[in-house]
A and B are shown apart, each in its own frame.
Chain A
Amino acid sequence: MNDHKVMSSVLDVDKIRSEFPALTRTVHGKPLIYLDNGATTQKPLQMIERVRKFDAEEYGTVRRGAYKVSEYSTQLYEEARQKVADFFGAGSKSEIIFTSGTTQAINLVAYSFGKQFVKAGDEIIISNIEHHANTVPWQVLCEERGAHLKVIPVNDEGELILEEYDKLLSNKTRIVAVNHVSNALGTVNPVKEIARRAHSVGARILVDGAQSSSHMKVDVQDLDCDFYTFSGHKMYGPSGVGGLFGKMELLEQMPPYVTGGDMIMQVTLEKTTYARPPARFEAGTPPITQVIGLGASIDYMNGIGMDNIAEYEHQLLEYGTKCLEKIDGLRLIGTAKDKAAILSFYLDCVHPHDIVTCLDQDGIAVRGGHHCAQPTMIRFGVPATARASMSFYNKTEELDALAESIRRTIKIFS
């Protein structure tokens, strides 16, 4: 395919690529083609430099020291919280809780919301295309509480069947937990509508935003979700930090998830009273440097513009879909009308792990496996898939190279 020119120039991709040092790496003597952005994203210099400067010149503990170094560090930490709140459209920065990432954020809600609001006989709804991180915590909660887990089915394209969802909703439903974008298929779920229907029966909704947060404009107030979770390392920020948006009226009613220092109002040997959110949910010294880094990566994405990112990545998706559809024996898994830039595929004659090893020889990094979404794999009747997940720093030429490498792989195994 040589119609690269059809891509409109929403972004200056060459300039963007020059801001990501990792993209100049070579693998097995070939230039790296990084297509595992669904797993984790590479880091822009702006973020790397911000973290370096903070650690070198501004680092101190937060919320503890009554001295200049600590006060300044605390100020920067709270400014980063404000950036996250603004980025996701939260009403107040107190509704943003920093965690180690999406997994911990979902566990926090399952534990704390569950403890306060879920009792025997209640029901929790997830979907058939959730990551294990948005499945297992709810299974554990149901087991502990004697509650029941209900699952929204999907059609052959990988879209949630909303009529079936309606049948699952009742006054027993306490919370609905679904992803915004499926990591295994790329499906963009209609979470605003899912939230509306959940609220109509008095249930709450958690949206797992791990795969949407860095690919589209997210406004938690517009979506009207009660909880939204995200991971910094999938947003061009550091690993080890992520977070939770939660509506204050709920957070205020929820007990702490992890206890210890910094989450208390007062401790005596007989009794402890807890701090208000977000401190109540941030026991111990938080990942300070990583939070500062996340703030910088949000500045970086805002500089490009989330609408521009979404538009460009959609063009990449359309281009990549056309490239892969032309390959005989390749089956795309996940063909929803509304999709993020994820191409999950299965070859008749080559197991996904062999695909990954062969593509790696051409410098192409893709993921192969069940993507921590085994129920999704079972639904589509495959043991695993290979997955190319794109970012705004990818180019159409890289997708041509992907298709070419897949063709060579098929030749070897057939």
Chain B
Amino acid sequence: MSYINSELYQQVILDHNRKPRNFRKIEDATHSCHGINPLCGDDVYVYLNVNDAGVIEDVSFEGSGCAISKASCSLMTTHLKGKTVEDARINFKEFQNMIIGTMDPDKEEHHLGKLSLFMGVREYPSRTKCASLAWHTMVGALDRKFDGISTE
């Protein structure tokens, strides 16, 4: 295994896969959503606590999935804590654009910080949904999609 793959499976991603952060349920969450990727069976719940000022005070996740989906959930939760709902939506769009290759984080301005590690996913079309499931589910929670969301 190789060189190309190490761009996908960066150490930080492998670390978050082994030890996912915020891997728990928020019992009194103001927002939550169930997200599935029917093609590969990734299955996550994202929980958020948003205060009256629109700030995400706490965010967490539970579920099962591959290293990319688990690390993406984990890194997303660490990134969004303390951010506003508006910021979260902007980050979602930037993240989406990065993994489908329409935004190059090395050349364009963005607010993704460490999340730009997922740039390598754009070389793996079959894996982009693994990386984006966390984000779709988070936005689904904000939009109160009570029936859950699906990447298909």
| Interfacial residues, chain A to chain B (CB-CB below 8 A) | 28, 350-354, 357-358, 361-362, 368-370, 374, 377, 383-384, 405, 408-409, 412-413
Closest to B14 in A: A413
Which residues 41-82 of B sit at the A interface, judged by CB distance below 8 A? Answer: 41, 43, 64-68, 70
Contacts known (A350-B67, A354-B67); A409 close to B40, Cβ less than 8 A: no
Q: List, in ascending order, chain A residues with CB within 8 A of B70's CB.
A: 351
Tell me the bound Cα distance from A78 to B43 in angstroms. 48
Assess whether A354 is in contact with B64, with CB atoms less than 8 Å apart.
Answer: no
Interface of A is mostly: helix
Which 4 residue pairs spanning A and B have beta carbons closest together? Answer: A351-B66, A353-B66, A354-B67, A361-B5
Q: Please indicate the chain B residues that have their CB under 8 angstroms from the CB of A413 in the complex.
A: 14, 17-18, 67
The interface residues of chain B lying within 8 Å CB-to-CB of A350 are 67
> Given A368-B40, A370-B41, A384-B41: A351 and B67 within 8 A (CB)?
yes
Q: For the complex, what is the distance from the CA of A150 to the CA of B135, rounded to whole Å?
A: 39
Would B41 and A405 count as touching, CB distance under 8 A?
no
Q: Which of A351, A361, A370, A374 contacts B2 (CB 8 A)?
A: A361
Number of interface residues of B (CB under 8 A): 22
CB <8 Å contact, A28 and B127: no
B33 within 8 A of A: no
Q: Which of B5, B124, B127 has the most CB of A within 10 A?
A: B5
Q: Which residues of A contact B17 (CB under 8 A)?
A: 413
Across the interface, which residues of B come within 8 angstroms of A358, CB to CB?
Answer: 1, 5, 9
Least distance between A30 CB and chain B CB atoms (Å): 9
User: What residues of chain B have their CB less than 8 Å away from a CB belonging to chain A?
Assistant: 1-2, 4-5, 8-9, 14, 17-18, 39-41, 43, 64-68, 70, 124, 127, 130
A320 to chain B, nearest CB (A): 20
CB < 8 Å: which of A28, A369, A412 contacts B9? A412
CB <8 Å contact, A412 and B14: yes
Distance, CA A383 to CA B42, complexed state (A): 8
Residues of A contacting B130 with CB < 8 Å?
Answer: 353
User: Is A354 a contact of B40 with CB atoms below 8 Å?
Assistant: no
Q: Is the CB of B1 within 8 A of A354?
A: no
Besides A28-B2, A361-B2, 11 more A-B contacts (Cβ < 8 Å) are A351-B67, A352-B66, A353-B68, A353-B130, A369-B41, A374-B41, A377-B41, A383-B64, A409-B1, A412-B1, A413-B14
Known interface pairs A350-B67, A412-B14; A357-B124 also in contact (CB < 8 Å): yes
17 contacts between A and B (CB under 8 A): A28-B4, A351-B65, A353-B66, A358-B1, A358-B9, A361-B1, A362-B1, A369-B39, A369-B41, A374-B41, A383-B43, A384-B40, A384-B41, A405-B1, A412-B1, A412-B9, A413-B18
